[in-house]
């Protein structure tokens, strides 16, 4: 059996997804097909109204998208006892996989990051956690779940180390991230952009801060380096 690593998986998928980026989020006439949803464990209709299926191939029953169904397939296949495990999910969604985890896992811990709340405390029944500085003690968690979160973390090396510290021996971090359409290394600007935001905000220049707001994407290459730096197989 060939040992699958993160790089193996990315290599296999890269060639199949590169051409799709040229048509990302293009509206098309709605089409559908029947199938089995691993998130709500039901025979359902899957509906797509855009060519970018990763975000728009939706389950008609639970609203899940492909990455959520892939996540639940991995859990059901490799960790079938997950309802009895202690699971921490960072930045859970309001549909699909996160709802099923919250409903069926007896020790499910959802968290968001709130700048005004001390780590480990709660706001509106949601625990406050920072992946770069988790408040959990060592070897507490069986599974760490994150869905399209790691590409937004400013210091992924620190976050991966913290997650590894909080996981029990034999535990796992099951996560999804968007695939980059190229292996060309990009410049990471998130830290500099945040510094500009803070300066503008402190000086009352809200127009610049608003105009520069946007998503932060960490290149796949940088994330691969981050994972390998803490001895994960890449």
pLDDT at 182: 58
pLDDT at 98: 97
Among 2, 5, 1, 3, residue whose Cα is nearest residue 228: 5
Distant-in-sequence, close-in-space partners of 160: CB < 8 Å, separation ≥ 6: 173, 226, 227, 229, 230, 232
Query: Taking the model in full, what pTM does it have?
Result: 0.71
For residue 93, the number of C-alpha atoms closer than 13 Å in the C-beta half-sphere is 18
pLDDT at 6: 52
As a whole number, mean pLDDT of residues 65-84 equals 97
Among 27, 97, 28, 33, residue whose Cα is nearest residue 60: 33
How high is the mean pLDDT of the chain?
79
Cα–Cα distances in angstroms (integers) from residue 148 to residues 66, 68, 71, 178, in the given order: 12, 10, 11, 7
Q: Percentage of residues in the chain with pLDDT exceeding 70?
A: 64
Among 46, 43, 37, 129, residue whose Cα is nearest residue 88: 129
pLDDT at 41: 96
Is the per-residue pLDDT at 32 higher than 80?
yes
Cα–Cα distances in angstroms (integers) from residue 77 to residues 6, 45, 70, in the given order: 18, 23, 10
Kindly tell me the burial class for residue 80, based on how many C-beta atoms sit within 10 Å of its own C-beta (0-12, 13-18, 19 or more).
exposed
**DSSP readout, the chain?**
-PPP-HHHHHHHHHHHHGGGGGGTT-EEEEEEEEEEETTTTEEEEEEEEES-HHHHEEETTT---HHHHHHHHHHHHH-TTGGGSEEEEES--SSHHHHHHHHH-TEEEEEE--TTS-TT-EETTEEE--TTS--SPTT-EEEEEEES-GGG-S-HHHHHHHHHHHEEEEEEEEEE-PPPS--------HHHHHHHHHHHHHTT-HHHHHHT-------HHHHHHHHHTTT---
Pairing of strands 126-128, 122-123: antiparallel
Query: 231 or 118, which is more confident?
Result: 118
pLDDT band for position 212 (cuts 50, 70, 90): very low
pLDDT digits (tens, 9 = 90+) for 164-208: 999 999 999 999 998 766 556 666 665 555 544 444 444 444 433
Query: 21 or 94, which is more confident?
Result: 94
């Amino acid at each position: 059996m060939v040992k699958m690593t993160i790089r193996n998986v990315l290599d296999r998928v890269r060639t199949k997804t590169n051409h799709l980026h040229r048509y990302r989020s293009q509206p098309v006439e709605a089409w559908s097909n029947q199938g089995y949803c691993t998130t709500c464990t039901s025979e359902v209709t899957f509906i797509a109204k855009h060519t970018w299926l990763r975000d728009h191939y939706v389950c008609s029953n639970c609203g899940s998208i492909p990455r959520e169904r892939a996540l639940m397939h991995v859990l059901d296949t490799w960790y079938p006892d997950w309802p009895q495990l202690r699971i921490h999910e960072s930045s859970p969604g309001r549909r699909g996989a996160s709802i099923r985890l919250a409903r069926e896992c007896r020790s499910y811990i959802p968290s968001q990051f709130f700048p005004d709340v001390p780590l480990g405390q709660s706001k509106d029944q949601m625990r406050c956690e920072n992946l770069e500085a988790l408040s959990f003690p060592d070897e507490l968690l069986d599974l760490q779940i994150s869905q399209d979160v790691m590409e937004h973390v400013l210091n992924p090396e620190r976050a991966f180390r913290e997650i590894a510290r909080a996981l029990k021996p034999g535990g796992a971090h099951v996560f999804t991230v968007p695939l980059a359409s190229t292996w060309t290394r990009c410049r990471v600007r998130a830290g500099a952009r945040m510094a500009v935001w803070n300066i503008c905000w402190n000086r009352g220049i809200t127009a610049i801060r608003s105009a520069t707001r946007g998503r932060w994407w960490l290149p796949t290459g940088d994330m691969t380096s981050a994972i390998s730096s803490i001895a994960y197989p890449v």
